[in-house]
Amino acid sequence: MALTTRGGGGADQAQPPPAPDASLGFLTKRDTEVKLPRATRVKNKTPAGVQITAEQILREARERQEPEIRPPKQKITDVHELADYRLRERKRFEDLIRRVRWSVSAWVKYAKWEEGQKDFARARSVYERALDVAHRDHTLWLKYAEFEMRNRYVNHARNVWDRAVSLLPRIDQLWYKYIHMEELLGAVANARQVFERWMGWRPDIAGWNSYIKFELRYGEVERARAIYERFVAEHPRPDTFIRYAKFEMKRGEVERARRVYERAADLLVDDEDAEVLFVAFAEFEEKCREVERARAIYKYALDRVPKGRAEDLYRKFLAFEKQFGDREGIEDAIVGKRRFQYEDEVRKNPLNYDSWFDYIRLEESVGNKDRIRDVYERSIANVPPAEEKRYWQRYIYLWINYALYEELDAQDMERTREVYRECLKLIPHKKFTFAKLWLMAAQFEIRQKNIKAARQILGNAIGMAPKGKIFKKYIEIELYLGNFDRCRTLYEKYIEWSPANCYAWRKYAELEKNLSETDRARSIYELAIAQPALDTPEVLWKEYLQFEIDEDEFDRARELYERLLDRTKHLKVWISFAEFEASAGLGEDDGSEENKNDAGYQEQQTERVRRCRAVFERAFDYFRTNAAELKEERAMLLEEWLKKELSFGDLGDVTLVQKKAPRKVKRKRPLPTDDGSNIAYEEYIDYIFPDEVTLAPNLKILEAAYKWKKQKANDTEDD
């Protein structure tokens, strides 16, 4: 259409419509644009009368969703369009492999596309180009060979497999696929030739097994036997020989199978898996009804297989003897061999007590008393060379086991007594002792109803080498017998030996308390707290105070608290003292409604409150004046005081504590770092009490703000 021109010599031409994009088919970009609805502002935000669920919204959105716009499928109608399509695709693949040259998947996709176009020469060319890049990738060789096989290019496939196994002979999959192809083609000779090439590379057991199965599939038993001979020569292991022997047994060649087992037994007697071979050999003879042969094999194996690896062999042997023979005879043979091994071990190292223990257990399992006693006597003769307890700790159990054997198994009480006596005589008690041995000797005499001998043994123990365990057990025995005077004597010796032991003092006082000897118990407690050093003094003081409270000696208890405060001003002591004053003289029935209305009860309760409050005030004054740095303890004291005031009910005065309550303030303090150059800071909680003088100006501001806030709260309450 002609257009008129306007001045200036330039021509304004009408804009042509946009050309359609080739990738979108016949649709233009305007047709395929996704037009979003314009956002609208919601004016009415009140909930609708009919509510719908989110599931319904999603379902409707799915139903109203428009189908995805896809470009239409191209239909190639003539040779020229096909040529253009192939040109575009080849250009795309070439660009792709130029970008990712080392990507095997890109090459495989390219080759498969060429295969789909039935252009096998080009596909083969692509595979060859790929092999130039990644000839070590066995998957590429597999794809290449499968391509040739799929399209029935047998000679090409053979060529590919041959090149693959030559380059990658250690990849078993290539060999398996090559052989499988030859078998499918019926070329058994070629498959056998491939197997022979493979065996030249000395593959693992699976490769040899597959070769043998191949020959058996075609009925070549002699060939399979020859392969088995090469197999066991290449892999001389118990499992390969067992497999060979089972092969012969399956074909009824018993003598051949026996020769295989015999050859394996001679060759692999020192192998770590020899146990498996001997078990299989013996089971083979059992199947052949050769019981004596099987027994001889078991004996031969037990003589040569190490002890640690013969458990299964021993179990099989026992099962065999239960079924076919006399168990006692074979156990004697086994015990004799083990006895020889233990003799060899203890001869090399007589101080290896673990070997002696094993040897003794072996003899005890047989049950020969003379042999057992002989081994015990030989073992206890190996006394440790140094008089240090750590060397004697294992040795002493030889004596203990010896004594227990004589008492429980041999039932010889005189020999048991002699064993204990000789052992106690041997131990150097001046350097160290074993309380367990003294106690076992005494308990043995008690079991024999010889209390005098037991007392003599324990008395000698206390005199020669006193220990806490001995004192405790001796006192327990005398207490059980009701000899309280002996118990007192023993406790005195116990305390004399260890005056800092609070356990001894407490148990002594507990004994007197149980005997209703209040004055004696109190004297013991007084002596105990007068000691200059104690291991757990807090427990002792606590029991002494509880003793006086149980006896209703409240004045004595107060005096004790005062004495304890002279020694320590710990927070727990102050709180315990205050709790005592709050509950002193308060019985179980004093809290009933009848007693609460009684005037005498009211006076007592008032006195308790006064005394308790006085203790708290003393504690608070101490922490304020003498231990001002212990602010956290002072705050905890006020918390306990406040709880007590609340528990007093009408008699309590909460405001008295609240006036002294501190404020919590977060502060920072410097922390020196490892290098000492930079200083870090940590936050901590500080307590500011009302009676403290604030020095920092910011704290003064906080104080003024706090007073203003409190005043404002009071004015609000007045309004």
Same domain, 493 and 390: yes
pLDDT reported for residue 526:
83
Contact 12, 3 (CB under 8 A): yes
For 507-557, write each residue's pLDDT tens digit.
888 888 888 888 888 888 888 888 888 888 888 888 888 888 888 788 888
Query: Distance between CA atoms of 123 and 146, rounded to whole angstroms?
Result: 12
| Helix, strand, coil % in the chain, rounded to nearest 5 | 70, 5, 30
Categorize the per-residue pLDDT at 196 as very low, low, confident or very high, splitting at 50, 70 and 90: very high
Name the burial class of residue 486, with classes exposed (0-12), middle (13-18) and buried (19+) by CB atoms within 10 angstroms of its CB.
middle
Residues 549/557, Cβ–Cβ less than 8 Å: yes
Q: Is residue 260 part of a domain?
A: yes
Which of 497, 517, 539 corresponds to the end of one domain?
A: 497
pLDDT of residue 129: 92
DSSP state of 659: T
User: Does 16 have pLDDT greater than 50?
Assistant: no
pLDDT confidence of residue 174: 92
Residue 244 banded pLDDT, cuts 50, 70, 90: very high
Helix, strand counts (H, E) of the chain:
36, 2
Residue 316 lies inside a defined structural domain of this protein: yes
152 shares its domain with 241: no
Please give the average per-residue pLDDT across 235-254, as a whole number.
90
In a domain, 279, yes or no: yes
321, two tokens: 């003897």
Is 346 within a domain?
Answer: yes
| 129 and 152 within one domain | yes
Q: Look at 61-75, 77-91, 326-340 and tell me which has the smallest mean pLDDT.
A: 326-340
User: Does the structure show a pLDDT above 60 at 254?
Assistant: yes
Are both 308 and 278 inside the same structural domain? yes
Boundary of a domain, candidates 477, 497, 517: 497
Q: How many CB atoms lie within 10 A of CB 138?
A: 18
- Convert the pLDDT of each residue in 105-128 to its tens digit: 999 999 999 999 899 999 999 999
pLDDT at 14: 42
Mean pLDDT score, 230-252: 90
| Whether 303 and 349 share a structural domain | no
Q: How high is the pLDDT of residue 108?
A: 92
What pLDDT, on a 0 to 100 scale, did the predictor assign at position 702?
A: 65
Q: Which of 42, 20, 16, 40 is nearest to 31 (CA)?
A: 20
Convert the pLDDT of each residue in 650-706 to its tens digit: 777 777 777 777 777 777 777 766 666 556 777 777 777 777 654 444 555 666 776
Other Cβ atoms closer than 10 A to 352: 14
Instruction: Please indicate, yes or no, whether residues 277 and 266 belong to a single structural domain of this protein.
Output: yes
CA dihedral 219, 221, 226, 229 (to 10 degrees): 120
* pLDDT (tens digit per residue) in 640-656: 877 877 777 777 777 77
Q: Please state the rounded mean pLDDT for residues 299-316.
A: 75
Per-residue model confidence (pLDDT) at position 7: 39
What is the C-alpha separation between 462 and 459, in angstroms, rounded? 5
Say how far apart CA 260 and CA 264 lie, in whole Å: 6
Q: Are residues 447 and 389 in the same domain?
A: yes
Asked if residue 559 is part of any domain, the answer here is: no
Residue with tokens 């909930």: 47
The string of pLDDT tens digits covering residues 453-482 is 888 988 888 888 888 888 888 888 888 888
Which has the higher per-residue pLDDT, 343 or 402? 402
pTM: 0.49
Q: CA–CA separation, 675 vs 656, rounded Å?
A: 50
Here the CATH number for the domain that contains residue 431 is 1.25.40.10
pLDDT at 167 over 60: yes
H or E element that contains 596: helix 593-596
pLDDT digits (tens, 9 = 90+) for 608-646: 788 888 888 888 888 778 877 777 787 887 788 778 777
Q: What's the whole-number average pLDDT of the chain? A: 82
Task: In whole angstroms, give the CA distance from residue 679 to residue 647.
Answer: 47
Q: What is the pLDDT of residue 6?
A: 36
Within 10 A of 302 (CB to CB), how many other CB atoms are there?
20
Say whether both 344 and 425 belong to one domain: no
Number of structural domains in the chain: 4
In single-letter form, the type of residue at position 341 comes to Q
525 within a domain of the structure (yes/no): no
| Beta-ladder partners of 663 | 688
Q: Among 231, 242, 225, which Cα is nearest to 282's? A: 242
Element (H, E) at 318: helix 311-324
pLDDT tens by residue, 488-503: 888 888 888 888 888 8
What pLDDT is stored for residue 73 in this prediction? 79
Q: Does residue 60 have a pLDDT over 60?
A: yes
**Cα separation, 258 vs 249, whole angstroms:** 9
pLDDT value of residue 11:
39
Sign of the alpha-carbon dihedral angle for 694, 699, 703, 704: positive
What is residue 599's predicted lDDT score, i.e. its pLDDT? 65
Judgement on whether residues 334 and 313 belong to the same structural domain of the protein: no
Do 655 and 646 meet the contact criterion of CB atoms below 8 Å apart? no
Task: Pull the structure tokens for residue 665.
Answer: 């303030």
How far apart are alpha carbons 608 and 89 in whole angstroms? 104
**Pair (307, 367) in one structural domain:** no
Closest CA to 178 of 199, 157, 196: 157
Q: How big is the CA angle at 485 (ends 483 and 491), to the nearest 5 degrees?
A: 105
d(CA 230, CA 215): 14
Is 263 in the same domain as 300? yes
Q: Is residue 355 part of a domain?
A: yes
Least confident range from 118-122, 224-228, 511-515, 595-599: namely: 595-599
pLDDT given at position 516: 84
The CATH number that applies at residue 249 is 1.25.40
Which residue among 482, 497, 512 closes a domain? 497
DSSP β-bridge partners for residue 682: 669
Q: Is residue 38 part of a domain?
A: no
Domain hosting 465: range is 384-497
Q: Are residues 485 and 389 in the same domain?
A: yes
